[in-house]
Amino acid sequence: ALELAEELAEGLWDAGLPGDLPELEPECRSLLAAFAEGSAALTGCLGRRARPVRLCQGCHGHYRRLLAQYGSIVRAVGNSSESHNCAKSILTSDRLQIVVTLSEFFNETWEAANCANCLKNNSEGLSNSTEEFLDLFNKSLTCFEHNLQGQAIDLSPNNYTEVCKNCNETYTKLNDLYNHLQRMNRHGGESAHSAHLCIDVEDAMNITRKLWSRTFNCSLPCSDTVPVIAVSSFILFLPIVFYLSSFLHSKQKKRILILPKRIQSNASLVNIQEKYS
């Protein structure tokens, strides 16, 4: 009975219904089908690349195509009267407005991921700085894996000295580049969309830092050690300098106050000596 009802409904729809239920024009059906396929492709891409996060680098092509498909719907008028053009029929003819809702969801997700900060201005590919970072990131992971394999025969599984020693240079370059990209982004470097880097870069750096500091228990030598020590020493010695200068200043004032009394007493002594001489 259910199959019969579905076939009857499809037959009525295909035959065309009069009144307020006009069938979509072939052009509009084609646009809607393209948007549906694009939405499915982008959804699948986002889901597959959710962990580890590779949204921006792997799905920017799907997102760009979906934007174009949505734009085609917005601009499409169709061959029928203006009241039943493609844009109105597909986008605003019902309360749910599924196509609009889906488009807003994808846009909000893309903006929340700050993907524009990983891509070129035309969004056709990754920016040069992002490619450089991902290359260093892959080299760091390869270095970790290679040195862990060489340490497999070690009886101490928590001894990662080889990883720390041999991968220090690569990790330092990666960490320095990440900090540089953060500073550039705050001052409007390749993209001025947000103060955050894209989620792909942030997640990659978080993974690497956790491996380096927590798993391998490595430490990164600070290149600013000497300036930090100098500033810290200066701050620590400030109270000593303050109290010493206060002490010397008060002692000097005491000398100035006592000096006239001595001069006066010496003068009195001279007068007394002259008086009895």
pLDDT digits (tens, 9 = 90+) for 193-236: 456 899 999 999 999 999 999 999 998 655 444 454 555 555 66
Lowest mean pLDDT segment, chosen from 8-12, 51-55, 97-101, 155-159: 8-12
Lowest mean pLDDT segment, chosen from 61-75, 91-105, 150-164: 150-164
**Residue 23's pLDDT is what?**
72
- Is the pLDDT at 102 greater than 50? The verdict is yes
Closest among 84, 87, 80, 82 to 31, alpha carbons compared:
87
**Residue 3's pLDDT is what?**
56
Comparing 21 with 54, the larger pLDDT belongs to 54
Tell the residue number behind the tokens 């000295």, with chain if given: 161
- When pLDDT is cut at 50, 70 and 90, the band that residue 169 belongs to is very high
Tokens of 227: 């300036």
Non-local (6+) Cβ contacts of 120 within 8 A are 126, 127
* Helical H segments across the chain, by residue range: 2-15, 26-48, 55-75, 86-91, 98-112, 128-150, 161-166, 168-186, 199-210, 225-276
Tokens of 48: 């597959």
Tell me, what DSSP letter sits at residue 119? B
Lowest mean pLDDT segment, chosen from 1-10, 56-65, 104-113: 1-10
- Is the pLDDT at 99 greater than 70? The verdict is yes
Q: What is the mean pLDDT of the chain?
A: 79
Comparing 257 with 30, the larger pLDDT belongs to 30
126 in helix, strand or coil? strand
| Model pLDDT for residues 116-144, shown as the tens digit of each residue | 999 998 778 999 999 999 999 999 999 99
CB 73 within 8 A of CB 91: yes
| Model pLDDT for residues 252-276, shown as the tens digit of each residue | 655 555 545 554 555 554 554 555 5
Comparing 50 with 261, the larger pLDDT belongs to 50
**Residue 19's pLDDT is what?**
47
- Is the pLDDT at 18 greater than 60? The verdict is no
**Residue 260's pLDDT is what?**
53
Angle at 199 between CA 196 and CA 203, to 5 degrees: 110
Tell me, what DSSP letter sits at residue 92? S
Comparing 98 with 93, the larger pLDDT belongs to 98
Instruction: Report the distance separating Cα 87 and Cα 92, nearest Å.
Output: 8
Torsional sign, CA 180, 146, 223, 210: positive
**Residue 149's pLDDT is what?**
78
Question: Buried b vs exposed e over 124-152: b needs ≥16 C-beta within 10 Å?
Answer: eebbebbeebbebbeebbebbeebbeeee
**Residue 190's pLDDT is what?**
47
Non-local (6+) Cβ contacts of 133 within 8 A are 174, 177, 178, 181, 201, 204
4 in helix, strand or coil? helix
Closest among 18, 46, 35 to 73, alpha carbons compared:
35
Comparing 189 with 250, the larger pLDDT belongs to 250
**Residue 83's pLDDT is what?**
41
Question: N- to C-terminal Cα distance for the chain?
Answer: 148
Comparing 25 with 187, the larger pLDDT belongs to 25
% of residues, the chain, pLDDT over 90: 51
